[in-house]
């Protein structure tokens, strides 16, 4: 085994423009602690316009980028169409960057995704007729009552915190206020994952009914289904399977939910996907 084998075992991920926009918006909101963004198009294109916070990257500046960006910092790379960025992503993984993303479709599609998000309706605020329980909950966790989608500690929004706490009534009230069900925390998990942590089937059903992404992949490529399998929560696992969760998705390390099954009950539910 040569010295580069360990580095080459690391792999970058190709992600959609929407996923890349999500990473950027989480960074702008502060729920993602760090993100290095690189534009690998020709200098003239970069000067004409680039994604906010992006740094221009070419062969001459690559060494300086390695010195400036820590190996633990997630790296997001885009080019014109999503091809050249893959070669750059591989170079970063060769230098042991553990979390590297190449944007499919390139700059223009990423910009379109960001603009589409900017065009979304304004964030919901706490209405005058909100329940006392919701007012108290928001105050206890220092949430912004003017923006019920704004994250606080650990990148959790009010909906995520309520789901994690098993507060079904608060989840229902927040969903009725049209909060963003698919917001993701600093690890890339949405409220469904947190409801599974709480083990609350009612909240899981409410979130799915509200249109949450049942197959959301976090920053390691793991889904809520994978979490329930790995934690031995066979009742939550069965519930997600019943709602059509995809058991064939793989993590960044190429594991499926069946590979992570912690109990015989979970394995039996997933044996139809075993390789």
Of 123, 129, 169, 121, which is closest to residue 144 (Cα–Cα)? 123
- Alpha carbons 232 and 223: distance in angstroms, whole number: 14
**C-alpha to C-alpha distances, 126 to 135, 157, 251, nearest whole angstrom:** 8, 14, 37
Distance CA 233, CA 131 (A): 32
Crossing angle, helix 234-242 and helix 201-209, to 10 degrees?
20
| Active-site choice (79, 196, 217, 266) | 79
**Whole-structure pTM value:** 0.69
pLDDT at 2: 42
pLDDT score, position 120: 55
Q: What is the pLDDT of residue 253?
A: 87
pLDDT in tens, the chain (275 residues): 343 444 444 589 999 998 899 899 888 877 788 999 999 999 999 999 999 999 999 999 999 999 999 999 999 999 999 999 999 999 999 999 989 999 999 999 999 988 887 655 567 999 999 999 999 999 999 998 988 988 888 889 999 999 999 999 999 999 999 999 998 888 889 999 999 999 999 999 999 999 999 999 998 899 999 999 999 999 999 999 999 999 999 998 899 999 999 999 999 999 998 76
Q: Is 266 a catalytic residue?
A: no
What burial class does residue 204 get, using C-beta atoms within 10 Å of its C-beta: 0-12 exposed, 13-18 middle, 19+ buried?
A: buried
pLDDT at 53 (0 to 100): 93
Q: Across the strands, what pairs with 13?
A: 101
Residues 149-161: tens digit of each pLDDT: 888 888 899 999 9
In the chain, what are the domains?
5-118 (3.40.250.10), 132-273 (1.25.40.20)
Determine the angle formed by the axes of helices 17-29 and 106-118, rounding to 10 degrees.
60
Give the integer Cα–Cα distance in Å for 162 and 164.
5
- Provide the terminal-to-terminal Cα distance of the chain, rounded to the nearest Å: 28
């Amino acid at each position: 085994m040569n010295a580069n084998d360990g580095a080459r075992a690391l792999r970058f991920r190709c992600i959609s423009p929407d996923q890349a926009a999500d990473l950027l918006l989480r960074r702008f909101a502060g729920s993602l602690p760090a993100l290095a963004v690189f534009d690998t198009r020709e200098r003239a294109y970069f000067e004409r316009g680039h994604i906010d916070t992006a740094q221009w990257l070419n062969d001459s500046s690559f060494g300086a980028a390695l010195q400036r960006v820590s190996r633990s910092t997630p790296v997001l790379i885009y080019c014109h169409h999503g091809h050249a960025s893959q070669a750059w992503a591989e170079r970063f993984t060769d230098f042991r960057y553990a979390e590297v993303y190449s944007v499919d479709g390139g700059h223009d599609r990423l910009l379109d995704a960001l603009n589409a998000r900017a065009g979304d309706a304004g964030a919901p605020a706490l209405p005058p007729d909100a329940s006392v329980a919701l007012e108290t909950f928001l105050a206890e966790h220092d949430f912004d009552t003017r923006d019920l989608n704004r994250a606080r500690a650990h990148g959790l929004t009010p909906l995520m915190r309520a789901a994690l706490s098993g507060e079904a009534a608060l989840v229902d009230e927040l969903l009725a206020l049209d909060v963003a069900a698919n917001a993701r925390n600093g690890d890339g998990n949405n409220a469904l994952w947190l409801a599974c942590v709480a083990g609350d089937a009612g909240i899981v059903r409410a979130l799915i009914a509200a249109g949450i992404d049942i197959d959301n992949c976090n920053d390691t490529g793991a889904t809520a289904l994978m979490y329930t399998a790995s934690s031995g929560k066979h009742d939550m696992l069965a519930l997600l399977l019943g709602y059509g969760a995809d058991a064939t998705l793989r993590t960044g390390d190429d594991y499926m939910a069946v590979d992570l099954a912690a109990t015989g009950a979970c394995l039996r539910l997933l044996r139809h996907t075993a390789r």
